Chain A
Amino acid sequence: MAYQATRNRRIFLLFLLPVIAVLFLTTIYPMLYAGWLSFRNYDLAKPFIPRIFVGWANYAEILSSGTFLHALITTLKLMAMTLSAQLVLGVGIALLVTQRLPGMGVARTLLLIPMMISPVIVGLVWLFLYFPELGYLNYFLSLVGLSGIGWITTTNWALWAIAIADIWQWTPFIMMGTAAALHSLSPEPYEAAMIDGNSRWDVFWRVTLPQLKPVLISLMFLRAIDAFKIYDIIFVLTKGGPGDSTEVLSMFIYRESFTFWRMGMGAAASFVSLAIITILVTFFFKSLNRDRSAVE
Chain B
Amino acid sequence: MNKPSTRQAILIYLLLAVVLIVFLTPIYLVASSSVKPAPIMFQKPPAFFFTPTWEHYHVLFTERPFLKFIGNSLIVAFGSTAISLVFGSLAAYAISRIRHRRMNDFAFWILSLRMFPPITVVVPYYIIFKTAGLLDTPLALIIVYSTANIPLVVWLMKGFFDEVPSALEEAAMVDGYGIIETFWRVTLPLAAPGLAVSAVFCFIFSWNEFLFALMLTGSKAQTATVAVMSFWSSDAVQWGRIMAGSFIILIPGVVFVLTCQRWLVRGLTMGSVK
- Which residues in A have some Cβ–Cβ distance to B below 8 Å? 1, 4, 8-9, 11-13, 15-16, 18-19, 22-23, 26-27, 29-31, 33-34, 37, 93, 96-101, 107-122, 124-126, 128-129, 131, 134-136, 139, 168, 171-173, 176-177, 180-181, 190, 215, 218-219, 222, 225, 228-229, 231-232, 235-236, 249-250, 253-254, 257-258, 263, 266-267, 270-271, 273-274, 277-278, 281, 285
Contact = CB atoms under 8 A, between A and B. Distances in A.
Contacts of A131: 42, 237
A176 B42 contact: no
A114 to B, nearest CB: 6
A128 B29 contact: yes
Nearest to A112: B257
Contacts of B37: none
A183 to B, nearest CB: 10
Most buried by A among B237, B242, B257, B270: B257
Nearest to B200: A116
A258 B215 contact: yes
Contacts of A113: 23-24, 27, 253-254, 257
Interface string B131-169: 000000000000110110010001000000000001000
A101 B257 contact: no
Contacts of B122: 253-254, 257
Contacts of A215: 273
Contact of B225 (A98, A115, A120, A135): A120
Contacts of B264: 112, 115, 176
A249 B117 contact: yes
Contacts of A31: 121, 124
B117 A277 contact: yes
Contacts of B242: 124, 128
B127 A263 contact: yes
Contacts of B253: 113, 116-118
Contacts of B208: 116-121
Interface in B91-134: 91, 93-95, 97-98, 108, 110, 112-113, 115-125, 127-128
Contacts of A219: 269, 273
B72 to A, nearest CB: 15
30 contacts: A8-B97, A12-B94, A12-B97, A12-B98, A13-B94, A18-B87, A18-B91, A26-B147, A27-B113, A30-B121, A30-B125, A99-B4, A110-B20, A111-B23, A116-B204, A120-B229, A121-B228, A125-B29, A126-B26, A139-B44, A139-B45, A176-B268, A225-B115, A229-B118, A236-B232, A253-B122, A273-B117, A277-B116, A277-B117, A281-B115
B91 A19 contact: yes
Given A118-B207, A263-B127, A270 B120 contact: yes
What is the interface residue range for chain B against chain A? Answer: 35 or more
Given A22-B146, A128-B243, A135-B42, 10 more contacts: A27-B113, A37-B124, A97-B16, A101-B12, A112-B261, A115-B257, A126-B26, A131-B42, A136-B46, A171-B23
B15 A96 contact: yes
A187 B173 CA distance: 42
A109 B257 contact: yes
A124 B246 contact: yes
B246 A125 contact: yes
Nearest to B208: A118
Contacts of B257: 109, 112-113, 115-116
B26 A16 contact: no
Interface string B9-24: 1001101100110111
Nearest to B24: A110
Most buried by B among A11, A113, A121, A273: A121
A131 B41 CA distance: 12
Q: Which 6 A-B pairs give the minimum distances between C-beta atoms?
A: A116-B253, A118-B208, A270-B120, A30-B124, A19-B91, A15-B94
